[in-house]
Structure 1
Amino acid sequence: MMWWSDDKIRLYEIAASASCFHDELASLISQHLNKDETIYELGCGLGYITSRLNDKGYNITGLDSDNKAISFAKNKFPLASYILGDAFNLDISVDVIICVFFGRLREEDNLNKLFSLCKKRIIYIQNEHAGSLETEFERSKETAEFLKQRGVTFSYTTHRLSFDQPLKDEEELSTFLSENYKTRDINIKIEKASNGFIARNNKAFGLFEIIKGE
């Protein structure tokens, strides 16, 4: 089953248009990129980060296995490059791989699989799934320990960015919660607004730069 439903895409686009989240995240990521490098964003979703980095002049391609997401990205951001495909079945060798809330680095052999796709490094965003600003970044600490145990050269920083979801009425609120919190506890603050509701969707994450060894 694909991640992106029509309702999820519609609501995400509303949130994106009301937020600086993607601009802020792209600016953080760009500090770890050079414009003469070839770059793939794996699991690019609806294409917002790939588009922002493309606008900054980076040679980047977004990839996702979800046809709805890639179709949206191509229509929404026609100046950027997107392809449909499975990230773990690619035959590529680019300079840098970017994984934003994608890749499950500590599972199976995913670190080595990602290293096989790049020449230089991985930019990996570890989502804390906090839903609030109170996280202690435990998942990022676990990822850092995982990388240390494997003798990998890396650095990381922790961040908190707001990505609030405007919702026009109770029906849309119900749709948002059912689409995004079907199988996990709701850890998000819902506030009444003059024109509906606001879901305070705070994103806490670690941004890792992971260097590929010789």
Structure 2
Amino acid sequence: MIIGKTSRGKRLATKGIEKSRKRKAPIEDPIEESGNEEQAYSKKLMEEEKTIIDIAPQSDSDGEGDSDKELQIALREGLLKTDKLNYIVPAKRPIINRTAEMREKVAEFAKKLPWIETVDVTTKSTLTKEMIDNDFDREMQFYLQAEKAVQIAVPRLLSMGVKVIRPSDYYAEMAKSDGHMQKVRKRLLKIQEGKERQEAIRRMREEK
């Protein structure tokens, strides 16, 4: 009986030791591991934000310094208005009027033809700035300028034996043929005769 009790006690003792070992063994909790990963990630983000905050003021100050320098240069060169409005004035393109060079180019491609081939006449214009806005005065100046050109060109043409006055029996060439014009003439005569006939009938009715 004593032996049985001792063996049973040993078995109970070994079971108790195994239970205590299981209790003391660390249990890996997946929730705890995920929490540690989140903490590490948030810590990394905080470090990155801190780095950005440390760098940002320096870059802003550099940009402001560059912009201040650009404004000073623009103001010195007269590109900024001084009427309390900071806007850049576009640089005006200089007026190019190289008269001598233009005359040289004209002389290069100008053809030396006799006057009868060009019949060009140059007259002085008396058009003023006040006449530009007045339609009647402006058109009158154009008319007078053309009249002066005719007064110069016609005598010159007559001296060269060129006829400038159209004969009274001259008929200009027509785009339509003579046969077509005869048909048009007959049609017009027929219309005229019809009108005269209607007029005569109307008079006879009025006399009655």
Indicate the TM-score class for this superposition, using the shorter chain for normalisation: under 0.3
Return the TM-score normalized by structure 2: 0.19
Please tell me whether Structure 1 or Structure 2 has the larger radius of gyration of its CA atoms: 2
More helix by share: 2
Structure with bigger strand share is 1
Q: Which has the higher contact order (CA 8 A, sep 6+)?
A: 1
TM-score, length-scaled by structure 1: 0.18
